[in-house]
């Protein structure tokens, strides 16, 4: 018995997990990409929200696979591009809230031990996210949303440290919204070559790291100058 080709992605010109020869699964569109295709086809924009929620809570599922495809479908007129962006960011935010409250209620160490039992999850990634948060403070929640793996896990130390929920929410929505927009709009702009967006994310990651370094250096320089000014003021008295 042949399997019907999913309407949304097929009409947009995207090969699907069920569009192989003879109606069977196409081995080239299997695995994670095939799953993403099926979820988005069956749920539309809400499927994007669901996948981003799962991606935030379970980091091994990368947004670099989900969002460029959603952007391509939006650009092709198969989905509402604005709604894709809104729901993708909402899914990211709700997932971040889950990890925030796990960190706040259960504690960072216990949560890490629990997550560490899951497949494809490395406890070292949690430690790196905590180190990032403690080095950069609240701004890490914003910039962390632009960095692979950290974007998901940064919520745990923020919750464990009881970061103000309003500030956490604002930085999460802004950071996630920015990252989601880059991938979604990139997918829409590249059309059928939407998969190339993933190749550009390495440069985006480097730009984010550079921006963080510049901010930290500027902060240190400002503190040093203030300290010297205070020392001169004290000496003159």
Cα–Cα distance measured from residue 113 to residue 154, given in angstroms and rounded to the nearest whole number: 16
In a domain? residue 7: no
* Cβ contact 197:189 at 8 Å: no
Judge whether 25 and 85 are in contact, CB under 8 Å: no
Residue 231 lies inside a defined structural domain of this protein: no
Q: How many domains are contained in the chain?
A: 1
pLDDT tens sequence across 108-141: 777 777 766 665 566 677 777 777 787 877 888 8
* Residue bearing the bigger pLDDT, 113 or 161: 161
Dist. CA 96–CA 52, nearest whole Å: 10
What one-character DSSP code corresponds to residue 3?
A: P
Confidence band (pLDDT; 50, 70, 90) for 203? low
Give exposure, 161-196, as e/b (b: 16+ Cβ within 10 Å): bebeeeebbebbbebbbebbebbbbbbbebeeebee
- What token pair was written down for 160? 């464990």
Quick check: is 216 in a domain?
Answer: no
Q: What is the pTM of this model?
A: 0.66
Angle between helices 81-105 and 165-190 (to 10 degrees): 140
Q: For residue 172, tell me if it sits in a domain.
A: yes
Residue-range definition of the domain harbouring residue 66? 44-201
Residue at 219 is within a domain: no
The answer as to whether 227 is a domain residue is no
């Amino acid at each position: 018995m042949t399997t019907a080709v999913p309407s949304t992605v097929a009409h947009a010109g995207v090969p699907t997990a069920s569009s192989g020869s003879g109606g069977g699964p196409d081995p080239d569109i299997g695995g994670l990409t095939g799953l993403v295709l099926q979820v988005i086809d069956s749920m539309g924009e809400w499927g994007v929200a669901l996948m981003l929620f799962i991606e935030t809570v379970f980091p091994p599922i990368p947004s670099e696979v989900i969002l460029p495809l959603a952007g391509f479908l939006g650009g092709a007129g198969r989905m509402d591009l604005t709604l894709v962006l809104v729901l993708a960011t909402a899914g990211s935010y709700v997932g971040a809230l889950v990890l925030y409250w796990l960190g706040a209620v259960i504690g960072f160490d216990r949560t890490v031990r629990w997550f560490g039992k899951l497949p494809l999850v490395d406890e070292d990634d949690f430690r790196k996210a905590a180190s990032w948060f403690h080095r950069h403070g609240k701004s890490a929640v914003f910039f962390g949303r632009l960095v692979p793996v950290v974007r998901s896990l940064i919520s745990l130390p923020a919750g464990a440290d009881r970061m103000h929920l309003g500030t956490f929410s604002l930085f999460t929505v802004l950071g996630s919204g920015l990252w989601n927009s880059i991938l979604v709009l990139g997918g829409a702009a590249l059309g059928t070559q939407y998969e190339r967006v993933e190749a550009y994310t390495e440069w985006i990651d480097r730009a984010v790291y550079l921006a963080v370094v510049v901010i930290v250096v500027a902060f240190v320089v400002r503190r040093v100058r203030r300290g010297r000014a205070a020392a001169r003021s004290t000496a003159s008295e």
